[in-house]
């Protein structure tokens, strides 16, 4: 985008754009637009977008991001929950959501940061996707930006998310420890050490000669925070077993 603007007689420094974005924030079109305003090339952000930075505009540039399907598959392979954010920004969301669902998509953002329910709840039902929400926090240090966790989710929506996520996370954790034991030889190659308490888990981790020494106080904090974690197949079923009880209480 900066190269195209330069060819249009509007030279901008990448450092200036980065400074506008702020520390730890990836620069984007809005930051380029602000730099254009500060440089006097346009009067305001709206003018920057309507004249130069709109999709297909003279200073618009396509990024090198991977395809959405590839991202979803990567998330699924690494023990994550794939969620489509801001689906209302898509010009034709139905076919996109259908393709991402085929790739393994778990959920879409339905509960907006402004407290409104998006019109895509029916699509979530159609493709059997979880309905989630996010605060859309980007660390812009903006008073109008919502705080992290400021979106209220219905109890059942949050519960269904945990119900779907727990077995995925359990399997991912087991795979991590299986790989760890294979490297360190704790219980022979390709064998996952079964733990029944967080003490067993901490002791297993700290028994590896490859791991750096850890301060006893840090270990104690971990033991306190994760006191009831049990990595077993039974734990993956616990949430499902509790669902009937919670649902009955809600009714």
Share of the chain above pLDDT 70, in %: 67
pLDDT at res. 143: 72
> Consecutive 10-residue runs of the chain (251 residues): their mean pLDDT?
96 94 88 95 93 94 87 93 90 93 95 73 92 78 73 85 90 78 51 50 50 54 50 46 53 49
Size of the chain, expressed as the number of residues it contains:
251
pLDDT at res. 5: 96
d(CA 164, CA 159): 9
pLDDT at res. 190: 45
The answer to whether 144 touches 156, Cβ cutoff 8 Å, is no
Distances (CA, A) of 40 to 11, 22, 170: 11, 20, 54
Domains of the chain, start order: 1-53 (no CATH), 68-157 (3.20.20.140), 197-250 (no CATH)
pLDDT at res. 38: 94
pLDDT at res. 135: 80
pLDDT at res. 30: 92
Neighbours of 5 (CB within 10 A): 22
The answer to whether 166 touches 81, Cβ cutoff 8 Å, is no
């Amino acid at each position: 985008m900066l190269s195209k603007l330069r060819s249009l007689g509007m030279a901008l420094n990448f450092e200036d754009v980065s400074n506008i974005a702020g520390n730890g924030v990836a620069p984007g079109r809005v930051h380029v637009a602000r730099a254009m305003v500060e440089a006097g090339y346009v009067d305001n952000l709206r003018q920057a977008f309507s004249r130069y930075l709109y999709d297909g505009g003279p200073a618009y540039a396509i990024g090198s991001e991977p395809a959405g399907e590839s991202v979803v598959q990567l998330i699924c392979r690494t023990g994550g929950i794939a969620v489509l954010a801001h689906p209302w920004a898509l010009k034709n969301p139905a076919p996109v959501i259908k393709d991402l669902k085929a790739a393994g998509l778990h959920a879409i953002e339905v509960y907006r940061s402004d407290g409104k329910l998006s019109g895509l709840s029916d699509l979530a039902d159609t493709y059997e996707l979880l309905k989630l929400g996010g605060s859309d926090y980007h660390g812009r240090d903006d008073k109008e930006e919502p705080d992290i966790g400021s979106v209220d989710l219905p109890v059942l929506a949050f519960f269904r998310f945990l119900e779907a996520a727990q077995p995925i996370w359990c399997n991912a954790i087991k795979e991590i420890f299986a790989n760890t034991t294979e490297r360190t030889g704790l219980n022979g190659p390709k064998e996952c050490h079964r733990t029944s308490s967080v003490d067993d888990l901490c002791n297993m981790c700290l028994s590896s000669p490859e791991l750096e020494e850890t301060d006893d106080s840090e270990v104690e904090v971990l033991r306190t925070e994760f006191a009831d974690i049990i990595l077993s197949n039974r734990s993956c079923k616990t949430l499902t077993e509790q669902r009937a009880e919670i649902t009955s209480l809600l009714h």
